[in-house]
Structure 1
Amino acid sequence: MFTGSIVALITPMDINGNICKKSFKKLIDYHISSGTKAIVIMGTTGESSTFTYKERISIIMYALDLAQDKIPIIAGTGFNSTSKSISMISDLENSGIIGCLNVTPYYNRPTQDGLYQHFKKIANSTKLPQILYNVPSRTGCDLLPETIYKLSEINNIIGIKEATGDLSRVNKIKNLIKKKFFLISGDDKTALDFMLLGGDGIISVTANIAALEMKTFYDCIKNNNFFQAKKINQHLNILHHQLFIETNPIPVKWVAKRLGLIFSDKMRLPMTPLKKCNQKILEITLKKLKLI
């Protein structure tokens, strides 16, 4: 359940900034029918930082209700406060989620020992599988391979979402960790090479609007059909880049609305709508890829 094409799901809102339940159901159904392996709810792409604690719990529970055991749900439970992460995981312990995705503590900029102690305490508070999430461009701190190795010795820390884009990390981590430990790419642009180096899957932004293509892309790699995998990756490469033409998830929400997957691309401040000039660029790309 922690391999394959996993979507970092956007959180659809109405024009008032509240959850759009109709769009949410449409998105979940889209990923079930497309064969997406699992859904991450309330991650970076889900704009978790603009929701209250209670809202985050509510959104995760609503996703579980919509999924109806047809697709696994991974909950984003990361905070820059260890105690808050522990509290959220405790509230979700028996909810039906298959695991937790915990981002490195943003803004605090802890030392490697601080990172180790943070994730260790969280893992020891629960029986749920824990996935580390390293994205220094967002958090201001980098979880180094040596620290990842130490954390992998904790039984329920079962993998990492590596979103540095640094492909050398794959071999460094694999050389340190000899037991099964899931290496999941968090960067669509480098996911092909990441998996060819031995990665297990991807938590994808692009899968929000090209779910079947991303699922097929992974299946091709799994089945050693590297020619077809490279062909799909080449086709989607422009999207992998342009979905970051502005800060994620601004572009992907606009595209999802343009494709009719959600009814509004509304976001809460400080996130703002996609600029008109970038809308034109993405419009051209969507037509080129025959998505519209």
Structure 2
Amino acid sequence: MDIRNLEGSIVALITPFRADGSVDFDALGRLIDFHLDAGTDALLPLGTTGESSTMTHEEDEEVVSFVVERTAGRIPVIAGSGSNSTQTMLEKSLAFERLGVDGLLLITPYYNKSNKEGIYRHFATVLDAVNIPCILYNVPGRTGCSISVANLERLSAHPNALGIKEASGSIAYASDIAHLIGPDFKMFSGNDDMVVPLMSLGASGVISVWANIQPALVHEMVRAFLDGNVARARDIQVQSLPLIHALFSEVNPIPVKEACAQMGLCEANYRLPLVPMADAHREALVAVMKEAGLRA
């Protein structure tokens, strides 16, 4: 599926685990069906929200294969293949391409960090090797390094660079890269509390944690903005902030997985170092979910 014109709500899909720590493929199937029914525009497994950092390469491939088969071409699948090792990211990217994904999400080299040229080559190595579009992932709060504007100017010219998931939380950075946005290079908000502001700078949508539990509403918000109904998009964004803040009251994906469990979509199981939510945060999350109509 050609995703060069991708826009809308892309869910950063959780990976459900069983109590014994194994991947719960039954729950994963229910989640995929939930998003297909709700109008989610694309699925993104194995991102930060998918806890891929605690999964084996074999599990990664099993999840990608399952998502591709279950989705059956109805909406795009973009797999997170990032690693702090460029060689590992290359190998995962090629493996996921063979499994039939429509695109890839590539992260900056966390921990290593590298210098400007090293970060450029980290991305360029994969962009040169694959034959599907890639989204570059800028999340310095997680990785300790950022994609410089100069590097993004170089990378955005690559034919396999679809765009950037901008999750720095900085309007200034988003403004500085907005001149690169156009038909051949897109921006997607990586922060659920800043979707409409980034769309005002040219973003085509969001790669969303929030969409795990309110996929139809996130789709509606993005679609409203793209269709020119900025007031409706703004209203959804502002009115949803209490829930969005609750979803980030602890490190992602702890709260959103708890929220999915509260909705009966999966169990709230994690792999260390992630652990269940603190009771006070869980109570606050459940309260705002009730206000949003997500709990009885």
What TM bracket, shorter-length normalisation?
over 0.9
Alpha-carbon contact 2:64-2:99 (below 8 Å) kept: no
Alpha-carbon contact 1:160-1:183 (below 8 Å) kept: yes
Alpha-carbon contact 1:17-1:268 (below 8 Å) kept: yes
Residue in structure 2 matched with residue 137 of structure 1 by the alignment? 141
| 2:215 maps to which of 189, 197, 211 | 211
Identity of aligned residues (%): 37
Q: How does 1:15-34 map to 2 (within 5 A)?
A: 15-34=19-38
| 1:81 maps to which of 81, 85, 91 | 85
1:281 aligns with 2:284: yes
What SS does the aligned partner of 2:48 have? coil
With normalisation by structure 2, the TM-score equals: 0.95
Partner amino acid, structure 1, of 2:168: T
With normalisation by structure 1, the TM-score equals: 0.97
Residue in structure 1 matched with residue 269 of structure 2 by the alignment? 266
Structure 1 residue 172: Cα displacement: 1.6
Q: Deviations over 1:21-64 (max 9, x none)?
A: 11101100010011100011100000000001111111111111
What SS does the aligned partner of 2:137 have? strand
1:162 aligns with 2:175: no
Structure 1 residue 94: Cα displacement: 2.9
What SS does the aligned partner of 2:74 have? coil
Q: Deviations over 1:145-204 (max 9, x none)?
A: 211111112111120100001112233212256662110110001111110221111000
CA-atom RMSD, angstroms?
1.2
Q: How does 1:183-262 map to 2 (within 5 A)?
A: 183-262=187-266
| 1:112 maps to which of 113, 116, 138 | 116
Alpha-carbon contact 1:250-1:271 (below 8 Å) kept: yes
Partner amino acid, structure 1, of 2:15: T
What SS does the aligned partner of 1:93 have? helix
Partner amino acid, structure 1, of 2:207: I
For residues 78 and 241 of structure 1, the distance between their equivalents in structure 2, rounded to whole angstroms, comes to 26
Gaps of 5+ in 2: none
Q: 1:260 to 1:178 in 2, by over 3 A?
A: closer
